Structure 1
Amino acid sequence: MAWALVALLALAAGVAAWQDPRRLRIGVYLTLAIGLASIGIAGRLAILLDDSDDPLRLAWALLGAVVLAILALVALGVASVFNGFTMLRREGRRPSNLLSLVFGVVVLAYCALIVAVWWFDRNHTDVALELFFWLVAIGTPLMYLGFVFVAFVGYGLVYGWAANRWARPVDAVIVLGAGLMGERVTPLLASRLDRGRQALDRSRARGKDTRLICSGGQGPDEVVPEAVAMANHLVESGVDRDLLWLEDASTSTEENLRLSARVAAEHGVEDGRFAVVTNDFHALRAALLMRRVGLDGFALGAATARYFWPSAILREFAAILWEHRRLNIALVAVAGVPLVLLLARAVVSLA
């Protein structure tokens, strides 16, 4: 029965991807299928170990798996904390740069709670039982968020690889803007422009009269619109200015897409096919937004500095949760019922 469900989930993911790969539910289906398959394989291994001549082999294997899982969580937490300090040092003390640090602290705090349960279980069973209840209560909503995060990141990697591998010619390449340094593009934006130029050249080499749209308005701290700085950078790098269209009024990714489609329509490209170029951490969300605004095509991601990626992907994940906030709030609320009950009991006991 379990393997039939795995096959059904894999089939659902395949059908959804065939219809339109720009759906997060595909990642959810695949993550569920891989998780159930892993549980099934682990179950078969447990049966084999349980049937062995050594009765302690299964217990040692389970203990080893638990220890490895805890060590992996600790390693993740430590790496996230160090990455958080790197972000603060290189990118400044902005709230968005704290995400990796906060994430690491939460992971390490949860690992500390796991160790506390084990420690008190050796000496004070009642305390250990209380801590265990808190461990489960806190862990349930965290498990939901962790599952969605794995689905988002995992499918984002798969989508990025597939979009790059099977990219078809397009009518226009839309490069999304980012912050500027004076009138010059930042290294982050330069990587997007380089990736956009590659997409432009590849599409034109396959016989399409493709154009590139530089998309980005002028922020309150910018001296020129991002689109202008982007176009200047491309021309300086050898791109023919006649191949460039400018969209210089947008202030968000969704506006980038809607207003770029309008620019394309003004130049005779209506209901065309587009390649939206951004950074790799943002590609899947850009693709989801393309589908929302009715833009046909795919999203491509430019490489991002390693130290920048963890905080950026956490920021994208937070944006995904917010964009589907009603569903996520409802599911977190259901998962958080045990925690609410424990908190209520603690308040009553203190009253």
Structure 2
Amino acid sequence: MIFYVFSMLSLFAFIMLSLKQKHSQGKIIFLFGAGLAVFFGIIQRRAMPMESVVVRWAILFMKFIYSVAPYFLGLFSMITLVHAVQRLQKRRKSRKYLALVALSFLLLFLVVIVIWNKFTIQLRWIHSLEYLLAYVLIYMVFSFLLFVISVIIHQFKQIQLSQDYLIVLGTGILPDGTVSKILQYRLDKALSFYKKQKEQGEEPVTLIVSGGKGPDAPQSEAEVMKQYLIQKGMDPQNIIAEMNSVNTHQNFLFSKNIITKKKIGDKGVFVTNSFHILRSSLYARQLGVDAIGIGAKTPWHYLPYALVREYIALLLIYRHFHIATALLFLGIALILR
């Protein structure tokens, strides 16, 4: 029963924070805790009539997870390894991504041992490791679903049409120097907001297009974005190009400097793709940029990769929380086994 009480308290905290705060990082932790508490509450009361039905379905689910966990985690570790190596090519001294490479190799090594044991030597202690991997997968699936839910929730946010500035976060441009489909969706979303605010009779919002120049790019992302918006009929007077940033953190840092220097105003929003809003909101909050995220759509073929990549990035940002929670999750699971 104590798990259900904890779940209700966590859910109450989530609702209260949702009403008071713009940014969602703290809220998600409470929602995460509420979900885990319900899970363990069901396990604790599995002999009760209502919980027994849930447990029967949960057992079927666990059998499925137990059978696929090594293969799924092996695939996940390889995807994570590729992502970390790609990031290290740009940031060679990043201890964060070096640690991610090491963890990916470790997980891949454990997965290989479990699969090898399953079809050859059949050692009992390695079967216990397979059981733990199944719980690791449950934890990852649960946390990933919460991440996806939060992405969906952001799609329905209502933003007031009385903003001083709008930051468009840049992303890669095509080799011919034109905007990519993902970047086009961001710019179209920003342009739509600009037109709606203007039609409402408010002062036109100032657009800050933020993005630097890649090593092989003919122009900076900001220059290409500005040209696109002008071609779509936007007044150049309302566009400021920030051409020095190379990542999301710098997008907000350098844009904030422009906002402060030009005394644009305090009320603002930023536009990025929906899957990117959570991490972007975190950087904005860290840098004191009080802006709400607006989510642009994402091409369906790119969405699965984008969600997994963002999930990995958020795991890294909240690595201490996830390590502590995962260990607690495994500990309680072993006790209730």
Give the TM-score normalised by the residue count of structure 1. 0.71
Query: Residue in 2 aligned with 1:48?
Result: 49
Q: 1:221 to 1:39 in 2, by over 3 A?
A: same
Percent identical residues: 22
Q: 1:30 to 1:336 in 2, by over 3 A?
A: closer
Q: 1:234 to 1:72 in 2, by over 3 A?
A: farther
Offset, 1:273: 1.6
Query: Residue in 1 aligned with 2:170?
Result: 177
CA RMSD of aligned residues (A): 4.3
Offset, 1:5: 1.5
Correspondence list, 1:1-351, <5 A: 1-37=2-38, 40=41, 47-48=48-49, 63-67=59-63, 69=65, 95=86, 127=122, 129-139=124-134, 142=137, 144-158=139-153, 160-163=154-157, 166-169=158-161, 170-181=163-174, 182-209=176-203, 210-270=205-265, 272-325=266-319, 327-328=320-321, 331=324
Offset, 1:143: 5.0
2-structure distance, mates of 1:316, 1:221 = 25
Deviation string, structure 1 residues 86-121 (Cα, Å, up to 9, x no partner): xx9xxxxx947xxxxxx9xx89x969959986x99x
Offset, 1:285: 0.8
2-structure distance, mates of 1:336, 1:58 = 19
Offset, 1:276: 0.8
Deviation string, structure 1 residues 224-258 (Cα, Å, up to 9, x no partner): 11111101111112222222121111111111112
1-structure distance, mates of 2:197, 2:270 = 13
8 Å Cα contact 2:155/2:274 also seen in 1: no
Q: 1:335 to 1:282 in 2, by over 3 A?
A: same
SS in 1 for 2:213: coil
Offset, 1:294: 0.7
2-structure distance, mates of 1:192, 1:312 = 15
Give 1 or 2 for the bigger CA radius of gyration. Answer: 1
* Runs of 5+ unmatched residues, structure 2: 88-103, 332-337
1-structure distance, mates of 2:128, 2:70 = 21
1:171 alignment partner AA: D
Deviation string, structure 1 residues 13-41 (Cα, Å, up to 9, x no partner): 12222332413231121133234335556
8 Å Cα contact 1:171/1:208 also seen in 2: no
8 Å Cα contact 1:141/1:332 also seen in 2: no
1-structure distance, mates of 2:253, 2:210 = 10
Deviation string, structure 1 residues 188-212 (Cα, Å, up to 9, x no partner): 1111101111222233334432121
1-structure distance, mates of 2:36, 2:70 = 21
2-structure distance, mates of 1:38, 1:174 = 40
1-structure distance, mates of 2:290, 2:55 = 54
Query: Residue in 1 aligned with 2:93?
Result: none
Offset, 1:157: 2.6
Offset, 1:307: 2.4
8 Å Cα contact 1:28/1:148 also seen in 2: no
Offset, 1:4: 2.1
* Runs of 5+ unmatched residues, structure 1: 52-56, 89-93, 97-102, 339-351
8 Å Cα contact 1:24/1:152 also seen in 2: no
2-structure distance, mates of 1:186, 1:60 = 48
8 Å Cα contact 1:279/1:301 also seen in 2: yes
Deviation string, structure 1 residues 61-93 (Cα, Å, up to 9, x no partner): 565343455688799789989xx8xxx9xxxxx
Count matched residues: 308
